[in-house]
Amino acid sequence: MKALVFHTFGGPEVLALQEIPEPLLQAGTVKVRTRAIGLNYADIYRRRGNYHLVGEPPYILGYEGAGVVEEVAPDVEGIQVGDRVGFADVPHANAELVLVPADRVIKLPEGISYEDAAAVLLQGLTAQYLVNDSYAVKQGEEVLVHAAAGGVGQLLIQLCKARGAKVVGLTSSPEKRDAALAAGADEVFLYNTDWVSGVLNWSAGAGIDVAYDSVGSTLMDSFKAVRIKGTVVFFGMAGGDPAPVDPRMLMDTSKTLTGGDLWNHITSAEERSRRGNALFADMLGGRLRLSEPRTFSLADGAEAHRYLESRASTGKILLIP
């Protein structure tokens, strides 16, 4: 089979499409022929060597994709050859064939394409737990979404709007501002402006109810933008490490800081299936719309990495085997 591999850490140029042996079917797994693969910024970190990788080169990136089941281990029940499936946390996804643990398989309903699944699962499940578990957004509340034109950001906007909330977004360029507004944001400010004052004025000076911060370095400004007894949900560090938070500030303002990580919320096959089906139902019901993904062939994976690193992208990037 062909796979996008690298032997040393570095820039996009270390990636190359090579012929390697197929993965061997193991107990409790199925073999999936991928039709679409999601590219995420974590793949950039792993390629650079920022994240620890297990094993020896050649390394294969990718944790998210969708395709058709080609083989099923004898001990696996409920999954058949030919099933259309997706997955969101399975290593070595940048390949034509991927070995997927059966408890991580999410079956795709009619109406959800391979491209839809690969574009939405990781980011969609993240947005879903953020608005349901980290902070349960309610009708009439005011919500701040950082990186509002990104994959998670656009989905967060839509899920919050579906709950009847008002949403203000933050982006880095006028083009990305337009993308966030198209996703349904009520207002969008640029990071290179005094956006804290803009958000406070937008909320009539009281501050917003909750800020979803995936940038990290903006954390203290997020606290300035939320109201007394408001909440900041910290779930990413795209802009660098956050400054330390003084617990006395939390006490004095009655504000709440909570962290978020998807894998603390999806801890069983049943939970994965339930949340995945709810996500697909939102898509099929029109409550969640995906922006058109940017697609690259798997052979052009290095170019896809360059595009993602350029920060010019809005929405999802897919690799097509």
Assign domain 139-259 to its CATH superfamily: NAD(P)-binding Rossmann-like Domain (3.40.50.720)
> Can you tell me the mean pLDDT for 215-230?
96
Secondary structure (DSSP) of 105-132: -EEPPTT--HHHHHHHHHHHHHHHHIII
Sign, CA dihedral 141-137-143-216, equals positive
Q: How far apart are alpha carbons 288 and 298 in whole angstroms?
A: 27
Answer yes or no: is pLDDT of 271 > 90: yes
Q: Kindly report the CA angle at 304 between 303 and 306, in degrees rounded to 5? A: 65
Query: pLDDT value at position 51?
Result: 77
Residue pLDDT, tens place only, 52-82: 777 888 999 999 999 999 999 999 999 999 9
Sequence-distant (≥ 6) Cβ neighbours of residue 115 within 8 angstroms: 35, 36, 66, 293, 295, 318
Answer yes or no: is pLDDT of 159 > 80: yes
Confidence band (pLDDT; 50, 70, 90) for 147?
very high
Q: What percent of the chain has pLDDT over 90?
A: 86
Query: pLDDT value at position 9?
Result: 94
> Can you tell me the mean pLDDT for 223-246?
93
Confidence band (pLDDT; 50, 70, 90) for 45?
confident
Residue pLDDT, tens place only, 81-120: 999 999 998 999 999 999 999 999 999 999 999 999 999 9
CATH 3.40.50.720 location in the chain: 139-259
- 152 CB burial (10 A radius; 0-12, 13-18, 19+): buried
3-state secondary structure of 149: coil
CATH 3.90.180.10 location in the chain: 2-120+264-320
Query: pLDDT value at position 205?
Result: 81
End-to-end Cα, the chain, rounded Å = 10
CATH topology of domain 2-120+264-320: Quinone Oxidoreductase; Chain A, domain 1 (3.90.180)
Sequence-distant (≥ 6) Cβ neighbours of residue 139 within 8 angstroms: 163, 164, 165
User: What mean pLDDT value characterizes the chain?
Assistant: 94
Confidence band (pLDDT; 50, 70, 90) for 238?
confident
